[in-house]
Amino acid sequence: MATLDLSLDAVSLTAALVDIESVSRDEAEIADAVEAALRPLPHLEVVRHGHTIVARTDLGRGERVVIAGHLDTVPVNDNLPSRLEGGVLHGLGTCDMKGGDAVILRLAATVPEPVRDVTYILYEAEEIEATHNGLRLLAEARPDLMAADFAILMEPSNASVEAGCQGTLRVEVRTTGERAHSARSWRGVNAIHRAAEVLDRITAVEPRRPVIDGLEYREGLNAVAISGGVAGNVVPDECVVTVNYRFAPDRSEAEAEAFVRELFAGYDVRLTDTSPGALPGLELPAAKAFVEAVGGQVAPKFGWTDVARFTALGVPAVNFGPGDPLYAHKQDEHVPVEHIERCERQLRAWLTGRPAAGPESGHESGHESGERNA
């Protein structure tokens, strides 16, 4: 069984988490390790739900915050184990989002008396269909564990605040035809050829770029898969184009679905997955205070994150985590050491009410040279 040493610095702890393979639906080992590391800490109440671990302080503070991160990754792509080179940690999950998870674990272990009560959540199955999402399952079974005045999702955001998130939905657009021998193709109707019109409709769309709370969101509509064909000598009678629509948070799921169905009018359209977006909510006091505490810079979140789940529960939430989201899911996924250390310093200062200290010279030099605790 894998073990985690929470006395390690956050960068070394990130590497340890990365080296525990945890592709979605295979998080048992990493969840066991997280639970075993957190349970001995006397200042935390630890609850497990499936492969989701919740650790909470209960100090009677006037405010409660949630700091959350998912434990799963996309499939391995010849990018394990981790390696540290020139102040950058490489490997599957370094950016999305085990750097953030390591910060969560370090704070949970080393801030026993925060100025606000904290609920730390490390959860399963964020990278796949919403039905498996650990936060969704927790909200259904134990909504009390997600109650808070404010929430921070440690999704990669270049160690700065990204507000709100896009909604996402997927549909299957089906074309039909008539089978025939390919040597006598005029006797049939080619369903794959009919899919060309579906693709033309997609590429003709000018993506919306609405400005919300001063932040410009950019929508995206893309064919992400296509399937069809019977045999090498048969004109196919069916083709399915899978389309992903990333919609700005000023549109509801129902509005987004209506837009897609109207776009593909005349075709068989089947909705397969949908999750709502989240408005930035920057006017809320808790969000304003956090943004000011970590530097005041805010960008829109391109992509869907679980801030939407907290927003649906009435909890304002932002994204704030180490790593450039452009490297999430890529083979060369990586995270700068400086991002991990900065996020930890700023969150520690916010939770303790003390000014953020500068980088620790011992850690900086060791990580720059490619060394880390083992």
Per-residue pLDDT of the chain (374 residues; tens, 9 = 90+): 899 999 999 999 999 999 999 999 999 999 999 999 999 999 999 999 999 999 999 999 999 999 999 999 999 999 999 999 999 999 999 999 999 999 999 999 999 999 999 999 999 999 998 889 999 999 999 999 999 999 999 999 999 999 989 999 999 999 999 999 999 999 999 999 999 999 999 999 999 999 998 899 999 999 999 999 999 999 999 999 999 999 999 999 999 999 999 999 999 999 999 989 998 888 888 788 888 888 878 999 888 889 988 988 888 889 999 999 999 999 999 999 999 999 999 999 999 988 766 554 334 434 543 443 33
Give the integer Cα–Cα distance in Å for 63 and 191: 58
Q: Are 372 and 366 in contact (CB under 8 A)?
A: yes
Residue 250 among the catalytic residues: no
Annotated catalytic residue within 126, 162, 237, 341: 126
| pTM for this model (two decimals) | 0.82
| Cβ density class 193-221: b for 16+ within 10 Å, e for less | ebbeebeebbeeeeeeeeebeebebebeb
Tell me the torsion sign for CA atoms 24, 133, 304, 273.
positive
Tokens of 291: 């943004």
Residue 200 among the catalytic residues: no
Give the integer Cα–Cα distance in Å for 321 and 305: 12
Q: What is the 3-state secondary structure (H, E, C) of 183-222?
A: HHHHHCECHHHHHHHHHHHHHCCCCCCCEECCEECCCEEE
Sort 18 into a burial class: Cβ within 10 Å, 0-12 / 13-18 / 19+: buried
Annotated catalytic residue within 9, 27, 32, 72: 72
Which of 192, 216, 221, 193 is closest to 205 using CA atoms?
221
- What secondary structure letter does DSSP report for 333? -
The residues that bridge with 245 in the sheet, in sequence order, are 169, 221
